[in-house]
Homo-oligomer: A and B are copies of this chain.
Amino acid sequence: MAQQIYSTYPPALTAEQEEYLVQTVKDWSIEHALAVRPSTAVVPEGANPNNVLATNAPVTLFPSPFPKSCFEQAKHLQQVYNELYAAITSDEQWLEGVMKELIQVDDFLANLWKIHLAVKEEGYVQDLSLGMFRSDYMLHTTDPNSAPTLKQVEFNTISSSFGGLACKVAELHNHLATYPSPSHPVAYPPHPLFGNSADPKTASSVRSTGHPPPNHAIFALTAGLAAAHEAYGPVKSKSTPPLPTCILFLVQDDERNVFDQLALSTHLFKEHKIPSFRLPVSQILARTSIPSKEANPARPLIYTPPSSPSTQYEVTVVYFRALYGPAEYSSPTIWAARHHLERSAAVKCPTVLLHLSGSKKVQQVLTSKPPGPDHLRFFLPGYAEATLDSLRSTFAPQYALSESEPEGIKLALSEATAANHVLKPQREGGGNNIYRNNIPSFLNSIPRDQWKQYILMELIRPPPEAKNAVLRSDGNVAVGHVVSELGIFGTCLWRSTNFNTTGTTGTTASAKWSAAAPGPQVKKSGLEILWNADGGYLLRTKGKESDEGGVAAGFSSLDSLILYESH
């Protein structure tokens, strides 16, 4: 049944219909800042000397069908996942146990760990952490007759992007499906999934929402930032005399996805009256400072706006939209800057430990279940077994490539079994995975002691018939079979009570915010959850020939979804 939905969608377009649809998407996108700065592949550098141009973000022309039950499951699990990663981050010992081997072979993870140790040695001055998460899933199909299930691709603990633009794609597809009326939209031909055509082939057995569900990612992510800002301290400034406060958006120097980020900072000021500033990575040490211990042991992070140096701000939250991958740490200065931020009193989103918790290795270790260690039960003592089972059901089988666990190595080196797997390095971001039959030869080409840097994961098999059309940022349209990845955003603010801290900060806001935590009352010790919420969704869709994701890299497109139930 489900397969039939994909095989008859999206509806075919006449030339005039495609022309109207594409022109409408182009114009709507710029009108609503569903936009990016173009790459040099779209506009050669010489034709854009002042970097003043914008173009539409790559978007699908239609929302993609998605089973309602899988969407609901992902949404319901988000707060559980949020708490899981909060608990992991608050258990330094457990994390050290998982990372130990990796740190020996991975400089990037080792340097992050060193920053944690150095700040621990000096004493943390901030026991709050903010997580702005995105849990990414794909649909997994085993045979054409059974319903697809949800499998987690990865859990992002740093720089989870596209919340701003994702809201707008849902709005765009809503507009296309309902303007001027849902029964007779101008942009889309009738189709059973839009609820305006009674095609007997599918209509009788499928119920759909007709258009994408509302996406509140901008609202939710902004609320998470505001919660951390509020929790920074009842009397915000730790400086004498007190300073005005702000949130810093830490951004890449050559960021092209700026309108995604501006959607959040604009809403943050409009809704919460919290000022924020964009700080490029290269400017961290020039524009921020921490007073000496003698001057102020609370270590507030002071930001001096270059355009208005006479008014300094105290930073409540550093929101990382940069510094997630090794390639960004191009010099010792950048490492020093990361260390500098970590030792400050600002709430970090994320802390170094939370950044490390997002490693693929952690994801793999979590899949262990009895008779192995039951990590989920350990970190989530208050949850019903059924909830943990639902969470476990989203794990794809995955393996370490470690001498102590030989199964992974065996699966990876055999051509036959490798064909069903992907090899993933620890690092964040797309572009580094090794697929299928390339795995054995790749492994044989690198030293054996490097293998432990990788995780072997069984390939997820998305619905093979799914199709869509994409408007790329260069204005070209591509049509064909596609693969979609659902991301659910979540925000979580917590206090880690096990670390030594110099103990001067933020101990009174918890009463206010803990009411927002809807989870069970039993929490892992060392952890106090102050805020926990799911936060909207993202669908990314790419052409099937491409194995890699990453919308910003131009491979895939922003999408939204039409939920369906087949019965």
A: residues with CB less than 8 A from B are 14, 16-17, 19-21, 26-27, 30-33, 35, 38, 42-44, 47-56, 179-181, 184-187, 189, 244, 246, 258-259, 262-263, 266, 269, 275, 277, 305-308, 311, 473-476
Contact = CB atoms under 8 A, between A and B. Distances in A.
A469 to B, nearest CB: 15
A478 to B, nearest CB: 13
Given A31-B262, A179-B269, A52 B473 contact: yes
Contacts of A473: 52
Contacts of A179: 269, 275
Given A30-B35, A186-B311, 8 more contacts: A16-B306, A16-B307, A30-B259, A43-B48, A44-B47, A180-B275, A184-B308, A186-B307
A14 B305 CA distance: 13
A21 B307 CA distance: 8
Contacts of A31: 33, 259, 262-263, 266
A55 B52 CA distance: 6
Q: Which 3 A-B pairs have the closest CB atoms?
A: A50-B475, A52-B475, A180-B275
19 contacts: A16-B306, A19-B306, A20-B307, A27-B259, A42-B52, A43-B43, A47-B47, A50-B475, A50-B476, A52-B474, A53-B53, A53-B54, A53-B55, A180-B269, A184-B244, A184-B308, A186-B307, A187-B307, A189-B308
A536 to B, nearest CB: 19
Given A30-B54, A51-B475, A186 B259 contact: no
A246 B180 contact: yes
Contact of A30 (B33, B48, B186): B33
A497 B30 CA distance: 44
Contacts of A53: 38, 43, 53-55
Contacts of A56: 52
A35 to B, nearest CB: 6
A189 B310 CA distance: 10
B33 A305 contact: no
A214 to B, nearest CB: 16
Contacts of A258: 27
A413 to B, nearest CB: 47
A77 B36 CA distance: 43
A258 B17 CA distance: 20
B54 A47 contact: no
A179 B270 CA distance: 11
B52 A26 contact: yes
Contact of A54 (B55, B184, B262, B476): B55
Contacts of A14: 307
Chain B CB within 10 A, most for which of A47, A55, A307, A308: A307
A391 to B, nearest CB: 37
Nearest to A44: B47
A50 B262 CA distance: 26
Nearest to A477: B50
A495 to B, nearest CB: 28
A531 to B, nearest CB: 24
A407 to B, nearest CB: 49
A398 B154 CA distance: 74
A83 B63 CA distance: 49
A400 B44 CA distance: 53
Chain B CB within 10 A, most for which of A52, A275, A473: A52
Contact of A50 (B30, B275, B474): B474
A15 to B, nearest CB: 10
A533 to B, nearest CB: 25
B184 A262 contact: no
Contacts of A307: 14, 16-17, 19-21, 186-187
Contact of A49 (B17, B38, B306, B475): B475
A316 to B, nearest CB: 13
A181 B31 CA distance: 27
A458 to B, nearest CB: 39
B48 A186 contact: no
Nearest to A33: B31
Given A53-B55, A54-B35, A180-B269, A306 B20 contact: yes
A278 B52 CA distance: 27
Contacts of A476: 50
A247 to B, nearest CB: 11
